[in-house]
Protein backbone atom coordinates (compact mmCIF):
# COMPACT_ATOMS: atom_id res chain seq x y z
CA UNK A 1 0.00 0.00 0.00
CA UNK A 2 1.49 3.39 -0.95
CA UNK A 3 2.19 5.87 1.83
CA UNK A 4 -0.08 8.91 1.84
CA UNK A 5 1.46 12.33 1.23
CA UNK A 6 1.15 14.28 4.46
CA UNK A 7 2.78 17.33 6.08
CA UNK A 8 6.06 16.71 7.89
CA UNK A 9 5.63 16.57 11.66
CA UNK A 10 7.69 18.98 13.76
CA UNK A 11 7.87 20.30 17.32
CA UNK A 12 8.65 23.71 18.81
CA UNK A 13 9.64 24.53 22.40
CA UNK A 14 8.79 27.77 24.22
CA UNK A 15 10.97 28.17 27.31
CA UNK A 16 11.06 31.21 29.60
CA UNK A 17 13.54 31.65 32.43
CA UNK A 18 12.69 33.05 35.87
CA UNK A 19 13.32 36.60 34.58
CA UNK A 20 10.90 36.24 31.67
CA UNK A 21 13.59 35.89 29.02
CA UNK A 22 12.81 33.60 26.08
CA UNK A 23 15.18 30.85 24.99
CA UNK A 24 15.97 31.36 21.29
CA UNK A 25 18.42 29.87 18.86
CA UNK A 26 20.11 31.47 15.88
CA UNK A 27 19.49 29.20 12.89
CA UNK A 28 22.56 27.54 11.43
CA UNK A 29 20.81 26.31 8.28
CA UNK A 30 18.32 27.77 5.78
CA UNK A 31 15.66 28.92 5.82
CA UNK A 32 16.08 32.02 7.99
CA UNK A 33 19.82 31.35 8.43
CA UNK A 34 21.15 33.48 11.30
CA UNK A 35 17.63 34.42 12.40
CA UNK A 36 16.05 33.87 15.78
CA UNK A 37 13.84 30.80 16.16
CA UNK A 38 12.38 28.60 18.85
CA UNK A 39 14.26 25.39 19.55
CA UNK A 40 12.62 22.52 17.70
CA UNK A 41 12.74 20.24 14.74
CA UNK A 42 11.43 17.12 13.09
CA UNK A 43 9.85 14.17 14.88
CA UNK A 44 11.68 10.90 14.19
CA UNK A 45 9.88 7.71 13.18
CA UNK A 46 8.95 5.77 16.33
CA UNK A 47 9.15 8.88 18.53
CA UNK A 48 6.33 10.70 20.32
CA UNK A 49 5.99 14.44 19.81
CA UNK A 50 6.74 14.95 23.51
CA UNK A 51 9.96 12.94 23.28
CA UNK A 52 10.91 14.82 20.10
CA UNK A 53 10.37 18.18 21.80
CA UNK A 54 12.58 17.19 24.74
CA UNK A 55 15.24 15.75 22.40
CA UNK A 56 15.33 18.76 20.07
CA UNK A 57 15.49 21.17 23.01
CA UNK A 58 18.39 19.24 24.54
CA UNK A 59 20.24 18.82 21.21
CA UNK A 60 19.95 22.48 20.19
CA UNK A 61 20.36 24.20 23.57
CA UNK A 62 21.61 21.72 26.16
CA UNK A 63 18.52 22.52 28.26
CA UNK A 64 16.50 19.61 29.68
CA UNK A 65 12.73 19.83 30.02
CA UNK A 66 11.06 18.98 33.32
CA UNK A 67 7.46 19.48 32.14
CA UNK A 68 5.68 19.99 28.82
CA UNK A 69 2.30 21.64 28.26
CA UNK A 70 0.78 21.66 24.80
CA UNK A 71 0.32 25.19 23.46
CA UNK A 72 -1.27 24.13 20.19
CA UNK A 73 -0.92 22.61 16.75
CA UNK A 74 0.33 24.88 13.94
CA UNK A 75 -0.44 23.64 10.45
CA UNK A 76 -0.61 26.58 8.05
CA UNK A 77 0.75 25.15 4.76
CA UNK A 78 2.92 28.28 4.35
CA UNK A 79 4.48 28.23 7.85
CA UNK A 80 7.72 26.79 6.41
CA UNK A 81 8.88 28.09 3.00
CA UNK A 82 10.48 24.72 2.14
CA UNK A 83 7.46 22.44 2.47
CA UNK A 84 4.26 21.84 4.42
CA UNK A 85 4.94 21.13 8.09
CA UNK A 86 2.65 20.63 11.05
CA UNK A 87 4.09 21.51 14.46
CA UNK A 88 3.10 20.53 17.99
CA UNK A 89 4.29 23.44 20.13
CA UNK A 90 4.95 23.04 23.83
CA UNK A 91 5.44 25.36 26.78
CA UNK A 92 8.43 23.90 28.58
CA UNK A 93 9.38 24.13 32.22
CA UNK A 94 12.97 23.53 33.20
CA UNK A 95 15.10 23.71 36.31
CA UNK A 96 18.23 24.23 34.23
CA UNK A 97 19.00 27.59 32.65
CA UNK A 98 22.52 27.10 31.28
CA UNK A 99 22.23 26.94 27.50
CA UNK A 100 24.88 25.81 25.02
CA UNK A 101 24.36 25.85 21.25
CA UNK A 102 24.44 22.49 19.52
CA UNK A 103 23.07 20.57 16.54
CA UNK A 104 21.21 22.97 14.18
CA UNK A 105 21.80 26.06 16.35
CA UNK A 106 24.55 28.51 15.40
CA UNK A 107 24.03 30.21 18.78
CA UNK A 108 21.60 30.10 21.69
CA UNK A 109 20.62 32.86 24.08
CA UNK A 110 18.08 33.95 26.63
CA UNK A 111 16.50 37.02 25.01
CA UNK A 112 14.95 39.63 27.29
CA UNK A 113 13.62 41.87 24.54
CA UNK A 114 12.06 38.97 22.61
CA UNK A 115 8.96 41.04 21.77
CA UNK A 116 11.07 43.33 19.58
CA UNK A 117 13.04 40.72 17.59
CA UNK A 118 11.97 39.02 14.37
CA UNK A 119 11.27 35.31 14.74
CA UNK A 120 11.45 32.69 11.98
CA UNK A 121 8.49 30.74 10.65
CA UNK A 122 5.30 31.36 12.67
CA UNK A 123 7.17 31.41 15.96
CA UNK A 124 5.88 34.85 16.99
CA UNK A 125 2.34 33.47 16.92
CA UNK A 126 3.39 30.41 18.93
CA UNK A 127 5.09 32.55 21.59
CA UNK A 128 2.09 34.87 21.90
CA UNK A 129 -0.19 31.83 22.32
CA UNK A 130 2.21 30.55 25.00
CA UNK A 131 2.00 33.88 26.85
CA UNK A 132 -1.82 33.66 26.79
CA UNK A 133 -1.61 30.08 28.08
CA UNK A 134 0.68 31.15 30.94
CA UNK A 135 -1.83 33.85 31.94
CA UNK A 136 -4.68 31.31 31.95
CA UNK A 137 -2.69 28.83 34.05
CA UNK A 138 -1.73 31.39 36.69
pLDDT digits (tens, 9 = 90+) for 20-38: 999 999 999 999 999 999 9
Q: Is 2 a member of any domain?
A: no
Predicted confidence at residue 103, as pLDDT, reads 79
Q: Is 46 a member of any domain?
A: yes
Domain with 90 in it: what CATH number? 3.90.79.10
Predicted confidence at residue 50, as pLDDT, reads 98
Round to whole Å and give the CA distance between 27 and 34.
5
Q: How many CB atoms lie within 10 A of CB 48?
A: 12
Round to whole Å and give the CA distance between 111 and 88.
22
pLDDT digits (tens, 9 = 90+) for 94-130: 999 999 999 789 999 999 999 999 999 999 999 999 9
Which position has the higher pLDDT, 3 or 52? 52
Q: Is 9 a member of any domain?
A: no
Average pLDDT for residues 82-103, to the nearest whole number?
Answer: 95
Domains: count for the chain: 1
Q: Is 11 a member of any domain?
A: no
The region of weakest confidence among 42-51, 69-78, 102-111 is 102-111
Predicted confidence at residue 2, as pLDDT, reads 85
Q: Is 4 a member of any domain?
A: no
Q: Is 109 a member of any domain?
A: yes
Q: Is 6 a member of any domain?
A: no
Write down the mean pLDDT value for the chain: 96
Predicted confidence at residue 66, as pLDDT, reads 93
Round to whole Å and give the CA distance between 60 and 27.
10
Round to whole Å and give the CA distance between 43 and 56.
9
Domain ranges, residue 120 = 20-137
Among 105, 125, 83, 88, smallest CA distance to 23 is for: 105
Round to whole Å and give the CA distance between 91 and 130.
6
Q: Is 1 a member of any domain?
A: no
Average pLDDT for residues 5-29, to the nearest whole number?
Answer: 97
Q: How many CB atoms lie within 10 A of CB 36?
A: 20
pTM, two decimal places: 0.96
Amino acid sequence: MPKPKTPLLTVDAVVFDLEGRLLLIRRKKPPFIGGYALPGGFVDIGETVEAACMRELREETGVSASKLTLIGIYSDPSRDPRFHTCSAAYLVKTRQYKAIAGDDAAAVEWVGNWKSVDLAFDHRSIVMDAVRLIRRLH
